[in-house]
Structure 1
Amino acid sequence: MNKRLVAFFVSDRLFHIFLCVFIIGLSVGFMLLDRERYPGAMEWGTISYFVVLALFFIGLWLAVDYVRQKAFFMQVKHAIERSGDLGGSAIVQSAVTREQQLVVRLLEEQHSAYLNELGKYRRSQELHNHFVLQWVHHMKTPVSVIDMLSQDALQQMPGTKEEQKQLIESMKEEAERMTRGLEMMLYTARLDKFELDLLLKRVPLHELIRVVMNTHKRLCIRHSIFPRIEGEAWLETDEKWITVVLNQFVSNAVKYSKSKPGAKGLVFQLESFADGGGKLCVTDEGIGIAPHDMPRIFDPFFTGQNGRETGESTGMGLYLAKQVCDRLGHSLSATSELGVGTTFTVTFESRGIHLFSSK
């Protein structure tokens, strides 16, 4: 590192070095001319002594200047290495020359202006998130009321016509869709504060899957989707956040399987590892995902071919599932065959939960 620093330092002063060497050479030339004009007036030893002494002072000047400015160069180098850190520019303090002092002042003013703009942006985002959270909470109340009224209508009118029953059932399904959409928005808004809403423990994933399937039971029965759980696993995760991921898997399975005729399966395969980790594979028998869409299914707002055809996709469900898994230290991947079905695989690392990302 010091060799490169010396090389940079010397290369920046090549003009001054060449100028000094030119002046020494010019002086020696005049001395030689004077010696030719007045033989014996200038000894070779004197000329040699002048050249050596001049070169010595040039070297001394370079060495002293390097020592003076070394700290500044090192700080600039460290600031560049920490370019992704907001406090990187604050490292540069050991300015020596007036030019360096102006550079430090410029960095400080730019850093202050950047922090002010960042603060404004963060306040704006906090206000926006606060508005979204408040709106979601307000909207969940009327949706819950609609659902309760639909249940009361079914219970109080057992003799209603089949068409009216179907209408009420459709209202209940739409209310459930609205509830899931509001919950997705709520959890997406909470991603920025993920670490503040985290409770890690060993969870019986097979039992949690049964709870999730019960909430989607009506839709599964209506669209002839038959879930099956294979195996058991106690895995370390956050129960609430992994439920969000499971709900997304089931919602996608229902959304992209209901258009296919006949009975469809939805298989949850659980596997435990000896080191404490495990794996969950969720396989549906839906319409599958087109191969050219697979690389982008976890991108935000990407709906793909199937989403455009069904008209129900928001492009945020799988993005949210991927973000949750990444922040919990789990890995999420997918494979699919168009017209056959899709498999989502969540791998629970034995120590990944303790190293979750703060993206």
Structure 2
Amino acid sequence: MRVLPVVLFLRDRLIYVLSGFLMISTGVCLMLLENARYLGWMDTSTIYYFVVAAAFFLILGLVVDYIRQREYYNQLKNAIERSDELHVEAIVQSAVTKEQQLVARLLEQQMSAYLNKLGAYRRQQELHNHFVLQWVHHMKTPLSVIDLLLQVTAKQLPSSEKEQQELAFSLHEEADRMSRGLEMLLHTARLEKFEMDLHLKKTPLHDVIRDVLIAHKRLCIRHNVIPQIHGEAWTETDEKWMTVVLNQIVSNAIKYSKNKKGLKKLIFLLDQSTDTGSKLSITDEGSGIAPHDIPRIFDPFFTGENGRSAEESTGMGLYLAKQVCSKLGHELSVSSELGVGTTITITFHPHGIHLLLGSKANKDMHAL
């Protein structure tokens, strides 16, 4: 409920108002007693004049004091209502009394100390993020070398040595898992600077899906997962970040389908619509998600029943995908049936990119 500044002003000075009326009442009582003692000594109209004059000067003093401090109250209320912004400098300029000036000075000093600590924290966080990014890049190089050596070794082994080939393939798969984990760490660290690593353009989603499936081809063959792409669609998005999202979704689909026997389908259904935007549905035939786990699958580090049974689950894949889609203005939703499979739907709203660009422009203006 909005309280007017004049009400706040009167509340703060209620004791002074009551004291003033008490003094006026005391004066009137004394006059009446004197008039009763010396009959005819004072005219009754004089008492009325005294009451009116005293009340007038009391009210006049309050009005002048309110006019003097009105701007301070207005600035203070605006600062409270717009709590997401800092308005200490406005309060400092509007302070009138010594008490208000001392409070404003205290706020100004506290704000300065807060900004200094916040700047130190940000520098520390940037240093930490820089270290993480450098570490990931350094780790990716030896992993790429290991992967290349494993490919060469697997080709050189005779076909009769199946155990050695299987060992080489398992090592290759583990190297891929490590590489995907490092990629997830890298992209999660970049989320904070998302707008600085963004390139929006008209993107053929079917081509992005094919590139992602080529990267997962070996795992699909090993675990009997058959991908199918139905339809084509173009949308305004960032190709690199959409590749990150699809990598997480495809990786999860394979991970939770590999323990099922026989052939498993992984269906990509593209729906191109000029009015409501494009839509991509990805349906797997994996283990599915328990109904009570679905509301929490986008929470960081949440693994659920299936995730706890899979040792490689980190609980960050769908969180990362959800964050990226939200920042791009896309909608990510999940439906699943336990033991049957999961469908993940990405809706590309036509207005989502414009909201993103507007948010980016506002941040650039604040930076300036």
- Equivalent position amino acid for 2:180 in 1: R
Q: Distance in 2 between matches of 1:246 and 1:88?
A: 44
The answer on whether the counterparts of 2:157 and 2:164 sit within 8 Å (CA) in structure 1 is no
- Rounded to whole Å, the distance in 2 between the matches of 1:308 and 1:121 is 35
TM-score (norm 1): 0.96
Contact 2:230 2:268 in 1 (8 A): yes
- Distance in 2 (CA, whole Å) between partners of 1:321 and 1:193 is 16
- Alignment deviations for residues 194-232 of structure 1 (CA, whole Å, 9 cap, x no partner): 111100011010111011111101101111111111111
TM-aligned CA distance change 1:275 to 1:338, over 3 Å: same
Contact 1:334-1:343 within 8 A present in 2 as well: yes
Q: Does 1:134 align with 2:117?
A: no
Q: Which amino acid aligns with 1:81?
A: E
Tell whether the 8 Å contact from 2:227 to 2:266 is kept in structure 1 after alignment: yes
| Partner in structure 2 of residue 88 of structure 1 | 87
Q: Using a 3 Å threshold, how does the CA distance of structure 1 residues 88 and 286 change in structure 2: closer, same or farther?
A: farther
Q: Does 1:242 align with 2:234?
A: no
The alignment's TM-score, normalised by the length of structure 2, stands at 0.94
Partner of 1:186: 186
Structure 1 gap ranges (5+): none
Report what 2:304 is aligned to.
Answer: 304
In the alignment, the residues of structure 1 paired with residue 287 and residue 157 of structure 2 have an alpha-carbon distance, to the nearest angstrom, of 38
Identity of aligned residues (%): 62
Partner amino acid, structure 2, of 1:92 = I
What's the counterpart of residue 231 of structure 2?
231
Give the distance between the partners of 1:336 and 1:292, measured in 2 at CA: 11
Matches of 2:3 and 2:115 in 1, distance apart? Answer: 35
Identify unmatched segments of 5+ residues in structure 2.
364-368
In structure 2, C-alpha distance between the alignment counterparts of 1:318 and 1:141, rounded to whole Å: 26
* 2:293 alignment partner, SS class: helix
Equivalents in 2 of 1:254, 1:286: separation in Å?
Answer: 8
Count of residues paired in the alignment? 358
- Find the aligned partners of 1:233 and 1:24 in 2 and give their Cα distance: 84
Shift >3 Å, 4+ stretches: 157-160
CA distance in 2, matches of 1:74, 1:304: 51
- Map 1:71-220; keep pairs closer than 5 Å: 71-85=71-85, 87-93=86-92, 94-159=94-159, 161-220=161-220
Change (3 A) 1:141 1:3: closer
Kept after mapping to 1: 8 A contact 2:279/2:346: yes
2:157 touches 2:165 (CA, 8 Å); kept in 1?
no
Give the whole-Å Cα distance in 1 for the aligned partners of 2:18 and 2:34.
24
Check conservation: 1:235, 1:276, Cα contact below 8 A: no
CA RMSD of aligned residues (A): 1.6
* 1:323 correspondence with 2:323: yes
Answer with 175-184 or 133-142: which moved more.
175-184
Q: CA deviation at 1:90?
A: 2.9
